Amino acid sequence: MENWRWLDGVIVVLYFVLVAWIGFRFSRRQTSTETYFAAGRSIPHWAMGVSMFATLISSITFIAYPGSSYAGNWSELVPGFMVIGVLVLVGTVLVPFFRHAVGLSAYEYFGQRFGYGARAYSGLAFSAGHFSKMGFVLYLLSLTASSMTGWNIYLVLLITGVVTVLYTVFGGLEAVIWTDVVQGFIMCLGVVVILGFLVYLMPGGIGAAFDLAHAKGKFSLGNPKLNFADKTSIWVMSLYGFFWYLQKYSADQTIVQRYLVAKSDRDALKGVALGALMCLPIWTLFMLIGTLVWCYYQLSGTAFPPELMDKAGKVISDKVFPHFLVTQIPVGLSGLFMAAVFAAGMSTLSSDLNCVSAVGVEDYYRKLRPNASDKRRLFMGKLIVGICGCAAVGIAALIAWKSDRVLSLYYAVSSIISGGLAGMFILAFLSRRANKQGLWVGIITSLIFTAWATLTSGKNKMFGLGDYNFPWAGVMIGVGAHIIVLVVGWIASYGFPAPEPATRSMTLWGWLEKRKTLPPHTK
C-alpha cells in the first residue's frame, strides 16, 4: 500500500467518472432496440474501428502478453498475424454480406440457412463462451488493480462491475462504442508511455537490452517445425489464430454487431480494417514490454520479493510486470497504466454484455414472445444486461474467493459447447449441398470430440485415459472442432435430401448474384 500514490488514485477515479458520464450522456437516445443494439446504424467508421480494437484488447492481454514474452519468446504473437490474413481473405465479402443478411443477430443467418435449431444452438455457443469470459476478465482486472494498489479485490471488482453495467444498461451500444473510443485512446497512451519510460530506465541503454534479448532468443516467434503437440510451433499457433479470427469475424456477435453500426458497406469495411490494423502494433508493443522488463531485471540484477515466487521458488511471470510498474514507475504514470488496464477490461465486458443481450432478445425472446412490442423487447434487453452483469460480478468474486479451480468444470463445459462455429459458418456459406441434418451430424461429432479433448488434455486433466488422452497442444482443440463440423457436416449432408433452393441462395454464390442487384447507395 505504501507504494500507491494519491495522484495515481485520482487518475483512476477521473477515468471512472468520464466513462460513467459518457454512458449516461447517451441514455436518453435509447428508445428502441435498433438504437440500443445497433446505435441507429450511424457510427463513423473510425469510431467503429477503435471500438473493435478496444473490444479485442482485454485486461487479459495487458497481463498475459507481457508475462508470456517475459517467460519465453514471442510465439503468442503469431495468432495475431492471422487477423490480417483472415480479413484479406474474407473481409470484403463477409462485412457487406452480414449487413444485408441479418437484422441484429449474427445467428439469424444460421436460422435462415439451417432452421431455428441451428440459430438457437449457435447463439447458445456464443453466449456460453463469452459469459464464462466476462467473469474471468473482471477477476483478472481486479486482481491486477489490487496487487498494485493494495485495495480490497472485492471492492475493486464491485465498483468496476457496477459502473460498467450501469453505463451499458442505460447507454446501449452507442455508449459502449464511444466509451470504447476513449478507452482505446487511454490504452494506446498507457502502453506507449510505459514503454518509453522502460527504455529510459534500461541499464546500459536500449542497445544492451536488444543485444541480450536477441542472444537469448527472446524475439523468436516459435518452433518452425510442424509439431501439433508443441504449442510454441509457428504452424500450430498460425492454425489456431486463423480459425480463431475466422470465428470472430464470421460467427461472433461482438464483431458482427459492429458491422451493422456503420452508415454504409464501405464505411463498415474501413472500420473493420482500422480495428485490425490497430491491434497488431499494440500486441507487438505488449510483447516488447515483457521482453524489456526481462532485460531490465537481468541487467540491473534487482532481486524479487517472496510474493513474486511460487512454492518451487520460481518467479511467477504474470506478476513481474505489475511489480515493475509499482516499484519503478513514477507518480502518475502507474495510475495512467492502471486506467488503461481498467479500460481494457471494461471495454470487453461492456461489449460482451450488450451483445449477449442482443442474442437473448433477438434469438430467444422474439421466438418466445413473437408479438411483444419493441418497447417490451428493449426492456428485456436492459434486464438481460443487468442480470448478466451481476452474474459476472458474482463469478469474479467466486473466483477470487475459491480460486479459478472452482469454476474449471463450468469453463470446460462452455469450451465444449462453444467450439466449431467457424466450421459451421464455412459449411453454411460455401456448400450449396449442406443441409440441417448434415450440420447436426457434424455438430454432435464435434461435441463428442471437444468433450474428449477438453477433459483429457492439459496438466490438470479431469480424466486420465493414458494413451487415449488428447495428444496435441490445447489450442488444437478448437481447430479440430471447426474442421470436424465442416468435413463431417458436408459429407453427412449427402445422406439426406438436398436443401430447398431458397436456403441455397444464402451461400456465397447466391450472395454474389444478389450483390449485383443492390442499389449503389447501400454499398
CATH number of the domain residue 229 falls in: 1.20.1730.10
> Span 257-282, mean pLDDT?
93
Domain C-terminal end among 379, 404, 429? 404
CA angle 12, 15, 16 (to 5 degrees): 90
Residue with cell 516488447: 288
CB within 8 Å of 492: residues ≥ 6 apart: 437, 438, 441, 442
- Domain-embedded: residue 454: yes
- The count of other CB atoms within 10 Å of the CB of residue 301 is 7
User: What pLDDT, on a 0 to 100 scale, did the predictor assign at position 50?
Assistant: 95
Give the up-direction half-sphere exposure of residue 16: CA atoms within 13 A in the CB hemisphere: 20
Does 336 share its domain with 211? Answer: yes
Does 126 share its domain with 184? Answer: yes
User: What pLDDT, on a 0 to 100 scale, did the predictor assign at position 414?
Assistant: 52
> Span 178-197, mean pLDDT?
92
Does 342 share its domain with 457? Answer: no
Number of domains observed in the structure of the chain = 2
- Domain-embedded: residue 15: yes
Domain C-terminal end among 370, 404, 438? 404
- Domain-embedded: residue 81: yes
* pTM above threshold 0.85: yes
- Cα separation, 195 vs 253, in Å, equals 33
CB within 8 Å of 218: residues ≥ 6 apart: 69, 72, 73, 74, 291, 294, 295
Q: Are 74 and 300 in contact (CB under 8 A)?
A: no
For residue 291, the one-letter residue type is T
Surface-to-core class of residue 372, CB atoms within 10 Å of its CB (0-12 exposed, 13-18 middle, 19+ buried): middle
| Angle of helix 153-201 versus helix 374-402 axis, rounded to 10 | 80
Kindly indicate the confidence band of residue 28, based on its pLDDT and cuts at 50, 70 and 90: confident
> Span 35-51, mean pLDDT?
94
- Domain-embedded: residue 413: no
Does 452 share its domain with 385? Answer: no
Does 349 share its domain with 252? Answer: yes
* Max CA separation in the chain (angstroms): 72
- Domain-embedded: residue 88: yes
> With the C-alpha atoms ordered 378, 379, 381, 386, is the resulting torsion angle positive or negative?
positive
Kindly indicate the confidence band of residue 334, based on its pLDDT and cuts at 50, 70 and 90: confident
Does 242 share its domain with 355? Answer: yes
CB within 8 Å of 35: residues ≥ 6 apart: 29, 172, 174
Does 216 share its domain with 331? Answer: yes
Does 109 share its domain with 190? Answer: yes
Strand residues in 326-459 grouped as ranges (E)? none
User: What pLDDT, on a 0 to 100 scale, did the predictor assign at position 408?
Assistant: 53
- Domain-embedded: residue 158: yes
Kindly indicate the confidence band of residue 5, based on its pLDDT and cuts at 50, 70 and 90: low
User: What pLDDT, on a 0 to 100 scale, did the predictor assign at position 405?
Assistant: 47
Q: Are 331 and 91 in contact (CB under 8 A)?
A: no
- Domain-embedded: residue 308: no
- Cα separation, 57 vs 184, in Å, equals 9
Give the up-direction half-sphere exposure of residue 317: CA atoms within 13 A in the CB hemisphere: 16
User: What pLDDT, on a 0 to 100 scale, did the predictor assign at position 412?
Assistant: 54
Domain C-terminal end among 342, 372, 404? 404
For residue 181, give Cα distances in angstroms to 40, 79, 168. 17, 24, 14
User: What pLDDT, on a 0 to 100 scale, did the predictor assign at position 57?
Assistant: 87
Does 94 share its domain with 181? Answer: yes
Bridge-partner residues for 223, per DSSP?
Answer: 233
Which of 259, 252, 254, 245 has its CA nearest to residue 48? Answer: 259
Q: What is the mean pLDDT of the chain?
A: 89
Tens of pLDDT, residues 100-129: 999 999 999 999 999 999 999 999 999 988
For residue 514, the one-letter residue type is K
For residue 413, give Cα distances in angstroms to 263, 450, 472. 39, 10, 19
The more confidently predicted of residues 89 and 368 is 368
For residue 415, give Cα distances in angstroms to 57, 124, 241, 392, 459. 20, 12, 16, 17, 17
Q: By percentage, how much of the chain surpasses pLDDT 90?
A: 64
- Cα separation, 396 vs 353, in Å, equals 15
Residues spanned by the domain of 510: 419-523
Tens of pLDDT, residues 123-169: 999 998 888 788 888 988 888 888 777 789 999 999 999 999 999 99
Q: Taking 80 as the threshold, does the pLDDT of residue 6 lie above it?
A: no
For residue 224, which phi and psi values (nearest 5 degrees)? -75, -10
- Domain-embedded: residue 37: no
- Cα separation, 517 vs 53, in Å, equals 33
Surface-to-core class of residue 282, CB atoms within 10 Å of its CB (0-12 exposed, 13-18 middle, 19+ buried): buried
> Span 319-340, mean pLDDT?
84
Does 356 share its domain with 250? Answer: yes
Q: Taking 50 as the threshold, does the pLDDT of residue 397 lie above it?
A: yes
Residue with cell 452507442: 174
Does 343 share its domain with 489? Answer: no
> Span 57-86, mean pLDDT?
89
Tens of pLDDT, residues 412-465: 555 566 679 999 999 999 999 999 999 999 999 999 998 899 889 877 777 888
Does 388 share its domain with 506? Answer: no
